[in-house]
Amino acid sequence: MPRSTNQTRPAPRKAPKQARSLETVAVIVEAAARILEERGHDGFSTNAVAERAGVSVGSLYQYFPSKDALIGALVVRETSLLVEDTKKACAQSTGQAALSAFIAACIAHQFRRPQLARLLDYEEARLPFDADTQRVGRQIHELVIEMLAKSDLPALEDPDLTARETVAIIKGIIDAAGQHGDADTDALAGRVQRAAFGYLAIGPG
Amino acid sequence: MPRSTNQTRPAPRKAPKQARSLETVAVIVEAAARILEERGHDGFSTNAVAERAGVSVGSLYQYFPSKDALIGALVVRETSLLVEDTKKACAQSTGQAALSAFIAACIAHQFRRPQLARLLDYEEARLPFDADTQRVGRQIHELVIEMLAKSDLPALEDPDLTARETVAIIKGIIDAAGQHGDADTDALAGRVQRAAFGYLAIGPG
Amino acid sequence: MPRSTNQTRPAPRKAPKQARSLETVAVIVEAAARILEERGHDGFSTNAVAERAGVSVGSLYQYFPSKDALIGALVVRETSLLVEDTKKACAQSTGQAALSAFIAACIAHQFRRPQLARLLDYEEARLPFDADTQRVGRQIHELVIEMLAKSDLPALEDPDLTARETVAIIKGIIDAAGQHGDADTDALAGRVQRAAFGYLAIGPG
Amino acid sequence: MPRSTNQTRPAPRKAPKQARSLETVAVIVEAAARILEERGHDGFSTNAVAERAGVSVGSLYQYFPSKDALIGALVVRETSLLVEDTKKACAQSTGQAALSAFIAACIAHQFRRPQLARLLDYEEARLPFDADTQRVGRQIHELVIEMLAKSDLPALEDPDLTARETVAIIKGIIDAAGQHGDADTDALAGRVQRAAFGYLAIGPG
DNA sequence: AATGAATGAGGTTTCATTCAT
DNA sequence: AATGAATGAAACCTCATTCAT
C-alpha cells in the first residue's frame, strides 16, 4: 500500500502534487547515489535503489523509464552543481583567474563525494545518454572553451581539442588525488595549475 | 547480472602442461580482449568469451578460476607490454629523455587498442587483484619514481605522490585523445610533455 | 552439480504481506516436497521446484534466499506436525504412555510420506541450519527428555544421551519398515515398543 | 569402456600388471573414501578423487565405468570387512553370543571411520546398485537371519523382517553415538544389546 | 594403459522490468 | 499514483564423461 493515500486535496490541487513528485524524484536520485557509492556499478540495482529510497520499484519506474535513465539523472544532478560553479568561474575577467577558479571548483566537486564522482565519470563515458544529459555534460566543455578564449591566454589553433584535454588533465590529477585520499586541497590546486598552465604553455606566474 | 565473487586469483588455475593448453589460454585471453572492446564491461560474459574463442565454457574455467581472474590475466597481458617499454624508457640517461620516452610508450600503448586500454584502466581500479597482478600494475609506478629521481630533474618532496599524479596526467590526456579519435601522435606527445613538465615545474626546453 | 553455499538462512527472505504471497510460499514448499520424493536429493533442483509449483524461479528466490533455505523450510513444515503430536504425547501422565503415544506419532508421521521423511532426515543431518530451524529439530529431543523423566521410568544417568538413542532406535526401525513397505502399523508399534522399552530397561509390561 | 578389458592371460607375464592394476584400484577407492569423508556427498567429484589418488580422470574411468560404480566399489570395500567379522560372529554357538559379537563388530566398524560409514549408508540406500554390490549388502542380512535361527532364540514368524529391523536398531543407535562423538564403546555395546534383545523379546541376561 | 584437455548440459542465483491490485 | 509480487532471460560456474595423443 502507498505511503499515504493521497485522495482529497482541493484548491491548490496540483502544486502540492508536483512538489511531492519532485521530492520523490530527489529521494530516489539520492538513494541511487548512495547505492552506487556503497556497492559500485555491479552492485547497483533498481530494486536496491527503490528499497533504499523507501519507495516501491513500481514508483521508481514511474519516474525513470529505465535504469540508465536513473543513472543519467544522477549524472545531471551531480554535474549541475559543477556547471553552476563553472559559470561563476567563467565570469572572472582573466583567463588565468577563470581557470584557477574552475580548478578550485573541480576540486571541491571531487572532494564532496570522491567515489561517486569517479564512478559517474565512468558511467558518463559508458552510457549513450539522451540529449538532455549530454547537454549538461557539454556545458562545461563550452564554458572551458570560453575561458580559454579570454584575451590574456594565447590564441588556440584547436579550442575544442584544447578544452577537452585541459579538462582531462584536471580531472586526471584530481581523481588520482581523490582515490588516494589526499586531503590538502590547496597544495593540490597548485599542482593542478602547474600541469594545466604548462599544457597551455603559460609560463608560471 | 550475477555478481562475481571478487576474491580473485587471476593466476591461471592450472599450469598448462601441453602445447595445446598454452595456445588455448592465449586464444581465450585474446577473445576476452575482443569481447571487452566490442561489448564493454556489461556485455562481457564468460559464455561470450568462450564462444568467441571457439572453446567451451568449461575450458575457460579450466584455466581461469573466475571471470575476474580472466580479466586479471588480460590486464597483465596488456600491461606487460607497456612495462617492457617503460623499462627501456627508464634506461635513458636523463630524466627528461626518460619521461619523453615513457610518454611515447604510453601513446603507442593507448593507440594500439584505445577502447581496450580505457576499459582495462577501469577494471584495474575496480578489481581487488591478487599480489601478482597488482605487482605488474605497480611496476610502472616504481619505474616512474626512478625516472623522476634522475639528477636532471628537481628533487621531490613526495616522489610517490608525484609519480602517481604524473601518470594520471599522462593517461588523462592520452585517454581523452584516444576516445576522441585523434590520430596525430607526434603533436599529442608534445602536448603531453608540456603538461607533464609543467606539472613537474620543468621549464619548457 | 554446482555447490550451494551452505550458509543457510532458511527463514523466508521476505515476510509475505499479501494473501497471494502466503499461498505462493505454501505452493512452493509443497512442490519442493514432491520433487524431493520423486527425484531424490540429486534430482532436486530449484528450477524443477519452480516449474512444479507453477511459478517462476524468480518467485522462488523472492521467498527463499537459497536452495538450502527452501529445504530448511520444508524440514520445518514437516517436523512441525510431528512436534505437535509429540507435545500431545508428552502430556500423558505416565512415561510409558507418553512414549507409546510418541511412537505412534512417529509411525503416523513416517507413513504419511515415507520417502519424504527419510530424505529429510538426511538433509537435516547434512545442513548447517540456522537457529530457528535447529530449534524445531531440538524440540522433539527436549520433549523426549521430558517423557523419560516421568516418575514411572527409571532415573537416568545421562538423559541427553538416552533421549538421543531412544529416538534413533525408534526412527531406525520405522524407517526400515517404511522403506520396505510394511503396512501393519499396529504390529510395528509393538515391535518398536519392545526395542525402546528394552533399551530403557523397562520390563515388558 | 568396461571395468577391465580382461582378454589375454598367458603365464607369468601378467602378474605384475594385475598387481599394478589392483593397487591402482585400491588407491582410487581409498581416495574416494577420503574425499567423501572430507567433502560429503555434494563435494564428491570424480575429478577430485582422481587428483587425490594421483591418477588421471581417464585412468579412473578405465577402472570404474561411472561415478556410481566407484561409490559402489567403496561400499563393497567397506562392507566386506564387516561381512568377514559378521561371519565370525555367526560361528558362535549360541544366538545371543553371535548377536553380541555382531554388535561388537558393528561398533568397531562404525568407529573406524564414522563419517564414511554414515555417508555410505545413505549412498547404499540411494543407489540402484548392480548385482555384485547388492549381494555384499545382502550377505549381512542373510547372516543375521542365520544367527536369529539359532536354537537359544525364540522362533520367528517372519525372519526376514526381524533381521532387517534388528540391523536397523543396531545401526540406528551406533550411528547416533558415532555422530555425537561418544567414545565409550563398551557401554555402547551394552545399550545396543538391551535394545536388540528387548526387540527380540529376550529377557535381560 | 595412461593422460588430461575439452566438452556442454545443467545447476544456482540475480535483476531489470511489468502489471494486477 | 503507488505497490510489490511475479517474471524469465541470462549470468556464472561445475563436473561427469569422452577421446586425441
C125 C-beta less than 7 Å away from strand F = no
| Burial class for B205, CB neighbours closer than 10 Å (0-12, 13-18, 19+) | exposed
**B169·A165 Cβ contact <8 A:** no
Between residues C90 and D125, the one the model is more confident about: C90
Closest to A167 (Cα-Cα) out of D205, B195, B78, D118: B195
What is the pLDDT of chain A when averaged over all its residues?
Answer: 89
Other chains touching C, judged by 3 or more CB pairs under 8 Å: D
Instruction: Give me the percent of chain C exceeding a pLDDT of 90.
Output: 77
User: Which pLDDT belongs to residue C69?
Assistant: 95
Residues 34-93 of C with CB under 7 A from strand F: 55-59, 61-63
- Give A86-137 pLDDT, tens digit per residue: 999 999 999 999 999 999 999 999 999 999 999 999 998 888 767 777 788 7
> Which of B1, B41, B199 has its CB closest to that of A195?
B199
Give the closest nucleotide to B6 (alpha carbon vs C1').
Answer: F12
Q: What is the dihedral of CA C183, C184, C185, C190, to 10 degrees?
A: -140
How far are the Cα atoms of A34, A67, A133, B173, C101 from residue A110, in angstroms, in the given order?
15, 24, 19, 18, 73
Nearest CA distance, D18 vs chain C (angstrom): 34
C169 interfacial to chain D (CB closer than 8 Å) = yes
What is the pLDDT of chain D when averaged over all its residues?
Answer: 89
User: Which pLDDT belongs to residue C147?
Assistant: 98
Q: Return phi, psi of residue A144, to 5°.
A: -70, -40
Binned at pLDDT 50, 70 and 90, residue C203 comes out as low
Characterise B120 by phi-psi region: left (phi > 0), alpha (psi -120 to 50), beta (else).
alpha
User: Which pLDDT belongs to residue C8?
Assistant: 38
D194 interfacial to chain C (CB closer than 8 Å) = yes
Interatomic CA distance for residues D114 and D143, integer angstroms: 23
pLDDT in tens, chain B (205 residues): 343 433 333 445 555 445 567 889 999 999 999 999 999 999 999 999 999 999 999 999 999 999 999 999 999 999 999 999 999 999 999 999 999 999 999 999 999 999 999 999 999 888 876 767 777 878 999 999 999 999 999 999 999 999 999 999 999 999 999 989 999 999 999 999 999 999 998 865 4
Interatomic CA distance for residues C180 and C114, integer angstroms: 10
List of chain D residues whose C-beta atoms are within 8 Å of the C-beta of residue C200: 194
**A180·B201 Cβ contact <8 A:** no
Characterise C32 by phi-psi region: left (phi > 0), alpha (psi -120 to 50), beta (else).
alpha
User: What distance lies between CA C90 and its chain's CA centroid?
Assistant: 17
Interatomic CA distance for residues B153 and B197, integer angstroms: 10
C146 interfacial to chain D (CB closer than 8 Å) = no
Amino acid in position D35: I
Q: Chain D window 98-127: which residues touch C at a Cβ cutoff of 8 Å?
A: 118, 122, 125-126
The secondary structure of residue B147, as a DSSP letter, is: H
Residue of C nearest to D195 (CA): C199
User: Which pLDDT belongs to residue A17?
Assistant: 54
Amino acid in position A11: A
Q: Report the b/e string of C11-28 with b at 16+ CB within 10 A.
A: bbeeeeeeeebeebbeeb
Closest to B167 (Cα-Cα) out of B126, B134, B127, B137: B137
Asked if residue D16 has pLDDT above 90, the reply is: no
How far are the Cα atoms of B78, C104, C123, D123, D176 from residue D119, in angstroms, in the given order?
49, 28, 12, 6, 13
Binned at pLDDT 50, 70 and 90, residue D1 comes out as very low
**B195·A195 Cβ contact <8 A:** yes
> Which of the nucleotides in strand E have any atom less than 7 Å away from a protein CB atom?
1-20
User: What distance lies between CA C57 and its chain's CA centroid?
Assistant: 26
- Give C57-103 pLDDT, tens digit per residue: 999 999 999 999 999 999 999 999 999 999 999 999 999 999 999 99
**C1·D161 Cβ contact <8 A:** no
User: Which pLDDT belongs to residue D203?
Assistant: 64
Whether the CA torsion C177, C182, C183, C186 is positive or negative: it is: negative
Residues 51-90 of B with CB under 7 A from strand F: 57-58, 61-62, 65-68
CA D61-D67-D68 angle, to 5 degrees, is 130
Asked if residue D3 has pLDDT above 60, the reply is: no
A58 C-beta less than 7 Å away from strand F = yes
Asked if residue D176 has pLDDT above 80, the reply is: yes
Binned at pLDDT 50, 70 and 90, residue D137 comes out as confident
Contacts of B24 (CB under 8 A, 6+ apart): B16, B53, B55, B59, B63
> Which of D42, D180, D194 has its CB closest to that of C1?
D42
- Give A7-43 pLDDT, tens digit per residue: 333 334 344 456 678 899 999 999 999 999 999 999 9
User: Which pLDDT belongs to residue B1?
Assistant: 37
User: Which pLDDT belongs to residue C13?
Assistant: 56
User: Which pLDDT belongs to residue C70?
Assistant: 96
DSSP letters for chain C: -PPP------S-SS---SHHHHHHHHHHHHHHHHHHHHHHHHH--HHHHHHHHTS-HHHHHHH-SSHHHHHHHHHHHHHHHHHHHHHHHHTSSSHHHHHHHHHHHHHHHHHHSHHHHHHHHHHHHHS---HHHHHHHHHHHHHHHHHHTSTTSPP-S-HHHHHHHHHHHHHHHHHHHHHHT---HHHHHHHHHHHHHHHTTPPP-
- Give C14-44 pLDDT, tens digit per residue: 554 445 678 899 999 999 999 999 999 999 9
Residues 131-150 of C with CB under 7 A from strand F: none
Considering only A148-152, A176-180, C2-6, D129-133, which range has the smallest mean pLDDT?
Answer: C2-6
Contacts of A44 (CB under 8 A, 6+ apart): A32, A35, A36, A71
Interatomic CA distance for residues C125 and C130, integer angstroms: 13
